[in-house]
């Protein structure tokens, strides 16, 4: 009996591990314990659904105020927990407007950051967009006003803000990950959905990220389901295209150098499967792959453990994401060189329709 209790306790503690949680809610975990845990999570789903419905209704009926600011606001968000590629999308949008001379500010909640510090997305975007201020504040209305008053920003980009409805947005962009499009069909805590798929009715643009990772038939099925709820939305299909390998010193190496190379890889992101898929597409032989929780704060013990791990694997290089590298800031792990895979966004479908929406916003600022 004690052994059974210990095993169940172990499963409950592992629920806080993102990889285990995904395997559980997706049904990959089999057996009696997994079934019992899923049943327990199912009990919480109706409560969560009611809470989300009540909150959205408060905004829909005007009982909660939606604040307007003096400049256009574009929100980038998603329906599910975990990574859907919001950061590359935010970067792409910021560059698009900066190339047209628009002063842009990025605003995020700052999830995962310790008090007084920047989170990993902020550190990553600051390196990529040094001329774009990034304000982190749970009160995004206050942050937007600060950006307008102190930074003289002409456009606000809200990162991870589909569920943040206190601030009015002129364009609501929602990303759906092609590899995990609808959170395994369940709301939290039974699945990965932050709110029902029907909430897509608030979207102006729906973006299928990692669209190159699935078949044409799968993309069509995802689009059909999404557009049932948002027939008015622009449909966009994008891919995350590797650009180069980047060291913490800023040195860049051609991406084709990964072909037929034995590498180890690790990441602390919301969707590690997407990262591993990309490495495989580049022709790298990934002989070891480790996952850390999203927003993981790497400590000295982690670095030492990774160094020992790579030495045992005898690989030519270690690859992580840019989001990881900005927190580790090391040239190598042990004797093995460490590089981040730099990712850019490529729009495969819907570019013209999106540009029309963005042009309309840019024109409104000068017209």
Instruction: Encode the chain in three state secondary structure.
Output: CHHHHHHHHHHHHHCCCHHHHHHHHCCCCCCHHHHHHHHHHHHHHHHHHHHHHHHHHHHHCCCCCCECCCCCEEEEEECECCCCCHHHHHHHHHHHHHCCCCCEEEEECCCCCCCCCCCHHHHHHHHHCCCCCEEECCCHHHHHHHHHHHHCCCEEEEECCCCCCCECCCEEEEEEECCCCCHHHCECCCCCECCCHHHHHHCCEEEEECHHHCCHHHHHHHHHHHHHHCCCCEEEEEEEEEEEEECCCCCEECHHHHCCCEEEEEECCCCHHHHHHHHHHCCCEEEEEEECCCCCCCCHHHHHHHHHHHHHHCCCEEEEEHHHHHHHCCCEECCEEEEEEEEEEEEEECHHHHHHHHHHHHHHHHC
For the stretch 181-228, pLDDT in tens is 999 999 999 999 999 999 999 999 999 999 998 999 999 999 999 999
pLDDT for position 217: 97
Mean per-residue pLDDT over the chain, rounded: 90
Q: What does the pLDDT look like over 124-147, one tens digit per residue?
A: 888 888 899 999 999 999 999 999
Q: Is the pLDDT of residue 111 over 80?
A: no
pLDDT of residue 116: 53
Please tell me the predicted confidence (pLDDT) of residue 366.
66
Residue 346 has pLDDT above 50, yes or no: yes
pTM: 0.85
pLDDT recorded at residue 114? 54
Taken in order 145, 149, 153, 159, the sign of the CA dihedral is negative
Confidence of residue 344 (pLDDT cuts 50, 70, 90): confident
**98 or 6: which carries more pLDDT confidence?**
98
Structural domains in the chain, CATH included, are 2-60 (no CATH), 73-240+347-366 (3.40.50.300), 241-344 (3.40.50)
pLDDT digits (tens, 9 = 90+) for 242-300: 999 999 998 999 999 999 999 999 999 877 887 898 898 899 999 999 999 888 889 99
Q: What is the pLDDT of residues 22-59, one digit of tens each?
A: 889 999 999 999 999 999 999 999 999 999 999 999 99
pLDDT > 50? residue 13: no
Contact partners, residue 324, CB within 8 Å, separation at least 6: 120, 266, 267, 268, 269, 292, 296, 298, 340
Q: Kindly indicate the confidence band of residue 123, based on its pLDDT and cuts at 50, 70 and 90.
A: confident
User: pLDDT confidence of 85, banded at 50, 70, 90?
Assistant: confident
């Amino acid at each position: 009996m004690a052994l059974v209790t210990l095993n169940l306790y172990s499963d409950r503690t592992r629920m806080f591990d993102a990889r285990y949680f995904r395997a559980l809610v997706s049904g990959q975990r089999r057996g009696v314990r997994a079934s019992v845990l899923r049943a327990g999570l199912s009990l919480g789903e109706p409560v969560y659904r009611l809470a989300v419905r009540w909150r959205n209704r408060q905004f829909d009926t005007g009982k909660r105020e939606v604040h307007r600011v003096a400049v256009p606001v574009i929100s980038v968000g998603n329906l599910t927990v975990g990574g859907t590629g919001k950061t590359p999308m935010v970067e792409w949008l910021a560059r698009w407007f900066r190339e047209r001379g628009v002063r842009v500010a990025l605003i995020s909640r700052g999830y995962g950051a310790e008090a007084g510090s920047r989170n990993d997305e902020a550190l990553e975007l600051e390196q990529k967009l040094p001329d774009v201020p990034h304000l982190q504040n749970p009160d995004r209305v206050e942050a937007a006003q600060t950006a307008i008053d102190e930074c003289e920003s002409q456009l606000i980009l809200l990162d991870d803000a589909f569920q943040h409805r206190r601030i009015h947005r002129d364009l609501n962009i929602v990303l759906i990950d092609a590899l995990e499009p609808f959170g395994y069909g369940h709301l939290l805590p039974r699945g990965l959905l932050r709110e029902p798929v029907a909430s897509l009715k608030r979207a102006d643009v729906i973006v299928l990220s990692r669209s190159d990772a699935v078949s044409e038939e799968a993309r069509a099925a995802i689009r059909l389901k999404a557009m049932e709820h948002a027939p008015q939305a622009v449909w966009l299909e994008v891919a995350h295209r590797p650009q180069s390998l980047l060291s913490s010193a800023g040195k860049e190496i051609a991406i084709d150098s990964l072909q037929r190379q034995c590498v180890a890889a690790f990441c602390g992101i919301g969707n590690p499967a997407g990262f591993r898929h990309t490495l495989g597409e580049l022709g790298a032989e990934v002989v070891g792959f480790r996952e850390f929780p999203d927003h993981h704060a790497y400590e000295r013990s982690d670095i030492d453990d990774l160094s020992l791990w790579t030495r045992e694997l005898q690989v030519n290089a270690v690859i992580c994401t840019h989001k990881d590298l900005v927190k580790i800031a090391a040239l190598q792990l042990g004797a093995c060189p460490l590089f981040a895979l730099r990712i850019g966004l490529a729009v495969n479908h819907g570019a013209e329709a999106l540009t029309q929406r963005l042009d309309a916003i840019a024109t409104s600022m000068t017209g």
